[in-house]
């Protein structure tokens, strides 16, 4: 199972749209996919057609990530009514806002990792839609992720936000989770004939170099129509939807390729050290011995860089 967060430190640039587009591509490819909706606005939950009265959600999982709670917070998307397969959502909830504190404790930011370790065998890919800030929810998402995809628009404020996000990932990776790597920056809402967009894309290319992904998602009204109908873009009719589907397929292919890359030696060493320090992580069989090794002093994280030597 691989975990990918879709983030930006700016609102409205297309995080949910890209998360849903990637989920649609994964679903079309036959991957068993889970979308975790960590944004209190719950747009991904709506886009996946998971509306109704449900007892449990991400908020309950963040409170208590035990197996039964995790399973009750996950429901199938209505996308499966159109095409068979596995596409589930860990339901978003406005109550998650209560968890989005600026100074989360270590225990708090590790909750989602613990929850995902419970369903490790059930999914090939987990996509996490995050809120547009660097508070507890985004850090919780990143700590449980293998990769983060940064979404930006070709506009001046979005460029600055993408740069901030990239630095924040590096900082968290050095301090707490060596496994985490940026997948890169994807530009959304591109209008091919716009001079302003051309200028901003060049600026992004200068700033991020190879970390700026080749795939660019164009601005097309079809996206909004498919989202409004809670349908996967891959099952939406028309040429525009087919073109967009191809762009999301390419983006997914890049993510899958990136998951295959091994960690560098320093990261492996750090990963082992962190695995011992943390309680339950994906890729480990958790045992009572590990639970006993759980650190007891869950100090509040000071900024983004938790200094492991002090724990």
Ligand X SMILES: Nc1ncnc2c1ncn2[C@@H]1O[C@H](COP(=O)(O)OP(=O)(O)OP(=O)(O)O)[C@@H](O)[C@H]1O
Contact positions vs Mg ion (CB under 5 A): 15-16, 43
Q: For residue 12, state whether it binds ligand X (rule: CB under 6 A).
A: yes
CA distance 17 to 127: 12
The closest alpha carbon to 248, from 185, 186, 182, 155, belongs to 186
| Contact with ligand X (CB under 6 A) among 48, 87, 217, 255 | 217
- What span, in angstroms and rounded, lies between the C-alpha atoms of 80 and 35? 14
Minimum CB separation from ligand X for residue 44, in Å? 8
CA-nearest of 100, 109, 146 to 1 is 146
Residue 37 binds ligand X (CB under 6 A): no
Q: Write out the DSSP string of 130-160.
A: --SSSSHHHHHHHHT-SEEEEEE-SSHHHHH
- Out of 224, 238, 257, 264, point to the residue binding ligand X (CB under 6 A): 224
- Interface pattern 133-172 for ligand X (x via CB under 6 A): ----------------------------------------
Q: What's the distance, Cα to Cα, between the start and end of the chain in Å?
A: 29
Nearest approach in angstroms of CB 140 to ligand X is 16
Shortest distance, position 5 Cβ to ligand X, whole Å: 12
Residue 294's H or E segment, with its range, is none
| 3-state DSSP helix/strand/coil % of the chain, to nearest 5 | 50, 15, 35
How many residues are listed for the chain in this entry?
A: 311
The reply on whether position 299 binds ligand X by CB under 6 A is: no
- Choosing from 4, 9, 13, 90, the residue that interacts with ligand X (CB under 6 A) is 13
Structure tokens at 127: 């996509």
Beta bridge partners of 149: 6, 184
Q: Using the rule CB under 6 A, is 220 a contact of ligand X? A: yes
Token digits for 126?
């987990």
Shortest distance in whole angstroms from residue 195 CB to ligand X: 19
- Return the number of the residue (119 or 251) whose C-beta is nearest ligand X: 251
Find the binding residues for ligand X in span 98-137 (CB under 6 A): 132
Q: Tell me if 39 contacts ligand X by CB under 6 A.
A: yes
Q: Determine if 197 is a binding residue for ligand X (CB under 6 A).
A: no
What are the residues binding ligand X (CB under 6 A)? 11-17, 39, 41, 43, 132, 188-189, 217, 219-220, 223-224, 227
């Amino acid at each position: 199972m691989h975990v990918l967060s879709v983030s930006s430190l700016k609102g409205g640039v297309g995080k949910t749209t890209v998360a849903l587009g990637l989920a649609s591509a994964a679903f079309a490819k036959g991957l068993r996919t889970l979308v975790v909706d960590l944004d209190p606005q719950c747009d991904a939950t709506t886009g996946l057609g998971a509306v109704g009265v449900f007892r449990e959600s991400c908020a309950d999982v963040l409170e208590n990530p035990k197996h039964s709670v995790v399973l009750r917070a996950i429901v199938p998307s209505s996308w499966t009514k159109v095409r068979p397969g596995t596409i589930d959502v860990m339901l978003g909830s406005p109550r998650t806002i209560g968890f989005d504190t600026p100074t989360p404790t270590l225990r708090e930011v590790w909750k989602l990792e613990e929850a995902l370790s419970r369903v490790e065998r059930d999914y090939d890919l987990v996509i996490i839609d995050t809120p547009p800030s660097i508070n507890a929810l985004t850090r919780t998402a990143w700590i449980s992720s293998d990769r983060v995809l940064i979404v930006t628009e070709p506009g001046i404020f979005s460029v600055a936000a993408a740069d901030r996000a990239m630095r924040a990932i590096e900082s968290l990776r050095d301090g707490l989770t060596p496994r985490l790597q940026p997948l890169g920056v994807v530009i959304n809402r591109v209008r091919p004939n716009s001079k302003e967009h051309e200028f901003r894309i060049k600026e992004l290319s200068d700033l991020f170099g190879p970390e700026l992904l080749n795939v660019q998602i164009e601005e097309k009204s079809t996206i909004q129509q498919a989202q409004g109908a809670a349908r996967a873009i891959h099952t939406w009719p028309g040429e525009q939807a087919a073109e967009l589907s191809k762009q999301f397929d390419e983006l997914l292919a890049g993510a899958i390729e990136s998951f295959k890359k091994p960690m560098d030696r320093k990261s492996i060493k750090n990963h082992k050290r962190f695995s011992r320090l943390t309680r339950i992580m994906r890729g480990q069989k958790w045992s009572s011995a590990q639970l006993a090794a759980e650190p007891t002093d869950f100090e509040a994280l000071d900024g983004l860089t938790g200094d492991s030597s002090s724990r």
